[in-house]
Amino acid sequence: MRRRTIIRTTFGTAVTALLVATTSCGTGSEPVASEREPASSGEWELQELDLDVGPDSEPPFATDGAEAIIVTAGEDGAVSSLVSTGGGPFRAGEPHPTDLAPLWLGAAGRLGDDWIVLGSGGSEEVDGDTTFRKDPVVLRSADGTTWEQLEATGFSGPVDIEESVVADDAMVVVGARREEGDPGSEQFTATAWRSTDGRSWKETRLPDATASSYAVDVVDAGDRLLALGGIGNKTVAWASDDDGATWARTTLDGVPKRAHVNFIAGRGDVLVATGFVPSPDSDEGAGTGHLAYRSTDGGRHWAPAAQPPPDQGEQWGYPAAGRDGRFFVTTSTYLESWSQPEVCYADIDQCRQDSEVVLYTSDDGDRWERVDTSGFGTGEAGEIDDITTLEDGTVIAGRAGEHAWTIGRWPGDVDLPTAPPPTKTTVEIDLLEQGDTPEVGHRYAAPLHIHCGMDWLYLGEQPWQRTDDGPDVETGAGEAASADWPVAQQTIFGFATLVDDDTVEYSIGDGEVIATYGRPTQDPVPCM
């Protein structure tokens, strides 16, 4: 869903922010509308917002009743906001300067009569290098347009503020406590904070948290709060039965033990979680399978979704729960060629396509269907980065561009349009298994990565050195391949044939040999 690079979900009283770019408020927009008549037919009502790109941060996007706000931090640390009432157009608030630059905003919600936003920031020069202080900051606004910085207490040092939830009369925030004196280090501890007024906070180190632990999400799970994070590379969950005053370790029963569960969303007892299972030979590397799990008892027991969004090569986005009970999640149509070469060999254009973010929705978290966003005006299929709902079911979605946002509103009394899921064709290919010896005369599918050129080919993990003086391609140096070669993602999807014990011919689909390889006369040169 930050662009830290995929999506993030922020929970306040139903707060969501997916794939959000860092921004600061630019020019204002149309005056706010206090009421909005229900539409009889569905279409996206679009609004362009002029925004400047700030530092690598994310602006909270929050809703409460009929109100929605987007809070942004500029490069100078100034805080601005955009406010919508009754599903009407967003209007710009007044910038509020802070002494913390850069500033990262991580959580927002309505606490009593006020909007509360939290983050951290600040920097200083030390021996010619910039050090980020990560000083905590809390801001308050009665109407979402005019802000004041509070002299908040209860933070014992530098922090990362991740997510929040409002439970009864308290705001609960999770994140990590950074190492005192060296907030840029890898020493951070999973921590929760709780406040009933936004000014005085109680800090709680989450149970069993070590100096390499973190909390990334928190959600209202009906009769308790559920926080999600990790200790080292292990996914960990914590539960609170007293609105965040105290916490205990808990389990995600039914979720694979090796799974990395990234983020959760919930409405009442029904929760949705997404994540992946890491490769067996990797502590934290690429996933071998994407997870979409569902719980109907507040996160105590979990089961895989019966009809999840399709697995398209990148992990799913962070799930979001709308105020009307619907769930949302995004996925990408981007295909990692190394993991699904059968798609590239079937049709190379499928692997040449840019990544497209596709939106899915579900009424129960169990069965998901694709939302038709073509009317959103963001390309052939339309992409949505941020999404939430108001209490009347009005959907508010955002598309973050480099210097602007497109905001779309969908009427609450009209069902979202659906579309068939994206499909990819595949073809059966004969790949030589790792460590196997090729047979003479057999033609194997052999993707050849050409970032560093075509000098080396690996066939069955045996390196082969190029022997001919034919055309070379080095995409890392800006040298493009011939237009008729099957190249995508800096890889030639060609074929290798061992013609005799000492010679390999590399050809493309029509049989044209484009390179010849022999036994190496030197050690392979690593590609950097």
**438 Cβ contact partners less than 8 Å away, ≥ 6 residues apart:** 432, 444, 459, 460, 496, 498, 504
Interatomic CA distance for residues 37 and 55, integer angstroms: 38
Q: Residues 442-461: what's their mean pLDDT? A: 93
Give the tokens for residue 411.
């009427």
Q: Are strands 369-371 and 386-389 parallel, antiparallel or unpaired?
A: unpaired
Provide φ and ψ at 360, rounded to 5°.
Answer: -125, 150
User: For residue 450, what pLDDT is reported?
Assistant: 95
Bridge partners (DSSP) of residue 290 are 276
CA distance 273 to 277: 13
405 vs 264: CA distance, rounded Å: 25
Q: Is residue 123 very low, low, confident or very high in pLDDT (cuts 50, 70, 90)?
A: confident
d(CA 336, CA 489): 8
> Do the beta carbons of residue 517 and residue 500 sit within 8 Å?
no
Q: What is the DSSP letter of 350?
A: H
Average pLDDT, the chain: 83
Please give the Cα distance from 25 to 27 (Å, whole number).
7
Categorize the per-residue pLDDT at 388 as very low, low, confident or very high, splitting at 50, 70 and 90.
Answer: confident
Q: What is the pLDDT of residues 473-507, one digit of tens each?
A: 999 999 989 999 999 999 999 999 999 999 999 99
Q: How far apart are the first and last CA of the chain?
A: 30
As a whole number of angstroms, the longest Cα–Cα distance in the chain is 80
52 beta partners: 24
Go through 495-524 and write b for each residue having 16 or more CB atoms within 10 A of its CB, e for each that does not: bbbbeeeeebbbbbeeeeebbbbeeeeeee
pLDDT digits (tens, 9 = 90+) for 139-188: 999 999 999 999 999 999 999 999 999 998 999 999 999 987 766 677 89
State residue 210's pLDDT score: 92
Assigned token pair, 285: 């590397």
Q: How far apart are CA 190 and CA 162, in angstroms?
A: 11
**Overall average pLDDT of the 510-528 stretch:** 92
Percent of the chain with pLDDT over 90: 48
Cβ contacts of 128 within 8 Å, gap of 6 or more:
none
Considering only CA atoms, which of 80, 91, 104 is closest in space to residue 3?
Answer: 104
In this structure, the strands spanning 287-295 and 79-85 are: unpaired
* Range from 8-17, 60-69, 358-367, 512-521 that averages highest in pLDDT: 512-521
Which SS3 state, helix, strand or coil, does residue 475 take?
A: helix
Q: Across residues 277-282, what is the average pLDDT? A: 62
Report the predicted TM-score, pTM, of the whole model to 2 decimal places: 0.77
Q: Give residue 26's pLDDT band: very low, low, confident or very high (50, 70, 90).
A: very low
Question: Which helix (DSSP H) or strand (DSSP E) does residue 263 occupy?
Answer: strand 260-267
Q: Which residues pair with 152 in a beta bridge?
A: none
User: Are 398 and 21 within 8 A, CB to CB?
Assistant: no
Q: Give the model's confidence band at 231: pLDDT under 50 very low, under 70 low, under 90 confident, else very high.
A: very high
